[in-house]
């Protein structure tokens, strides 16, 4: 089933993203935040560095979000009915830290071809201009992939600090979301986000990305789950869904998936960053 309205689809087509979309209730978003904070308390380094990836492999709460029919209905409107989940990342910006995301295009280093995929950014906490919500350079998805400077800044939350320079900030639009809402963005849209200047955490749970089953990983191996429809291509390794938090077998799968992901993200890079 497709759920985006013609107006929402036109926004995606014209601007390269669509928001806000109602995805989860406020209570569901609260439950996700509690799951993160429970993991941080019980396993303090579990979500550090590479640990921000693939949390849906070790937590049934996050697994359920990825397979949420409301989210999938919106995703289906864009990439069709055969859908794989090929990765997730937590983008957390704590108050009093300097974390930011430089302007970049997701498709630059991710190796997913063709671009029949879409990224879902789910607001676990609200996201606004004060706490460093994403900003989209609307329409930039219509251009080719751009040159990215690799800066490796310490506070950049991207792997290589990949940066599209000279983005006209005045032409970028903030993606303001209430907790539980989401945005969907195109593989080639230029986007980034600033520092969190509020007194609370800003947490985004990002499914990056939902891919059509026809999408290949041209730089390495990908660990996926079927979210909807049929996978007639079998390009990727399929992984089981977690039944309990931090199951040992699931932890191992996550570790392997992360090793492969690092090979992909740092393919051809001169050095490796902290994520
Ligand atoms: O969470 C952020 O501020 C940026 C996330 C991002 O770049 C992405 O989801 O592609």
Q: pLDDT tens digit string along 12-48?
A: 999 999 999 999 999 999 999 999 999 999 999 999 9
For 82, residues 6+ apart whose C-beta sits below 8 A from its C-beta are 212, 213, 214, 228, 229, 230, 231, 232
Ligand 1 neighbour 208 (Cβ under 6 A): yes
Ligand 1 neighbour 204 (Cβ under 6 A): yes
Confidence bin at 163 (pLDDT 50/70/90):
very high
Are 106 and 146 a contacting pair, CB within 8 Å? no
d(CA 66, CA 225): 10
Left if phi > 0, otherwise alpha if psi is -120 to 50, otherwise beta: which for 229? left
What phi and psi values does residue 91 have, to the nearest 5 degrees?
-105, 100
Strand partners, 202: 93
Ligand 1 neighbour 83 (Cβ under 6 A): no
d(CA 121, CA 182): 5
pLDDT at 112 over 90: yes
Which of 204, 244, 213, 247 shows the shortest CA–CA distance to 84? 213
Please tell me what DSSP assigns to residue 238: E
User: How close is the Cα of 190 to the center of ligand 1, in Å?
Assistant: 11
User: How close is the Cα of 53 to the center of ligand 1, in Å?
Assistant: 13
Q: From the CB of residue 26, how many other CB atoms can be counted at a distance below 10 Å?
A: 12
Residue whose Cα lies nearest atom 7 of ligand 1: it is 192
- In the chain, alpha helices (H): 6-15, 26-42, 60-66, 69-79, 107-110, 248-265
Atom number in ligand 1 closest to CA 191: 7
Ligand 1 neighbour 101 (Cβ under 6 A): yes
User: How close is the Cα of 192 to the center of ligand 1, in Å?
Assistant: 6
Amino acid 237: pLDDT? 97
pLDDT at 189 over 90: yes
Residue 256's alpha-carbon distances to 66, 101, 250, in angstroms, are 20, 26, 10
d(CA 19, CA 11): 9
* Mean model confidence pLDDT for the chain: 96
What phi and psi values does residue 227 have, to the nearest 5 degrees?
-100, -35
Residue 79's alpha-carbon distances to 14, 37, 173, in angstroms, are 16, 33, 24
d(CA 39, CA 105): 30
Confidence bin at 269 (pLDDT 50/70/90):
confident
Mutate to test the pocket of ligand 1, among 176, 196, 206, 207 (most ligand atoms within 8 A of CB): 206
Residue whose Cα lies nearest atom 10 of ligand 1: it is 106
Ligand 1 neighbour 124 (Cβ under 6 A): no
Amino acid 2: pLDDT? 82
Amino acid 1: pLDDT? 82
Ligand 1 neighbour 59 (Cβ under 6 A): no
pLDDT at 205 over 90: yes
Mutate to test the pocket of ligand 1, among 87, 204, 207, 265 (most ligand atoms within 8 A of CB): 204
């Amino acid at each position: 089933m497709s759920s985006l309205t013609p107006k929402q689809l036109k926004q995606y087509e014209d601007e390269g993203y669509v928001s806000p979309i109602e995805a989860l209730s406020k209570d569901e978003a609260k439950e996700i935040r509690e799951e993160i904070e429970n993991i941080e308390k019980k396993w303090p380094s579990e979500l550090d560095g590479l640990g921000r990836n693939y949390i849906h492999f070790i937590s049934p709460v996050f697994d359920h979000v990825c397979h949420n029919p409301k989210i999938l209905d919106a995703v289906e409107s864009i990439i069709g009915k055969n859908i794989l989940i090929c990765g997730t990342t937590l983008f957390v910006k704590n108050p009093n830290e300097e974390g930011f995301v430089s302007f970049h295009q997701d498709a630059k280093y991710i190796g997913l071809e063709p671009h029949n995929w879409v990224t879902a950014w789910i607001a676990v906490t609200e996201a606004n201009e004060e706490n460093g919500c994403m900003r989209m350079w609307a329409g930039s998805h219509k251009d080719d992939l751009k040159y990215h400077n690799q800066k490796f800044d310490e506070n950049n939350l991207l792997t290589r600090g990949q940066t599209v320079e000279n983005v006209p900030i005045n032409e970028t639009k903030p993606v303001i979301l209430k907790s539980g809402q989401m945005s969907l963005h195109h593989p080639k849209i230029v986007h980034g986000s600033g520092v969190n200047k509020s007194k609370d955490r800003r947490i985004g749970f990002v499914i990056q990305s939902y891919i059509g089953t026809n999408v290949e990983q041209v730089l390495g191996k990908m660990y996926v789950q079927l979210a909807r429809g049929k996978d007639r291509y079998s390009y990727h390794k399929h992984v089981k869904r977690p039944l309990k938090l931090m199951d040992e077998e699931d932890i191992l799968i996550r570790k392997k998936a992360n090793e492969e992901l690092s090979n992909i993200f740092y393919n051809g890079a001169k050095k490796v960053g902290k994520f």
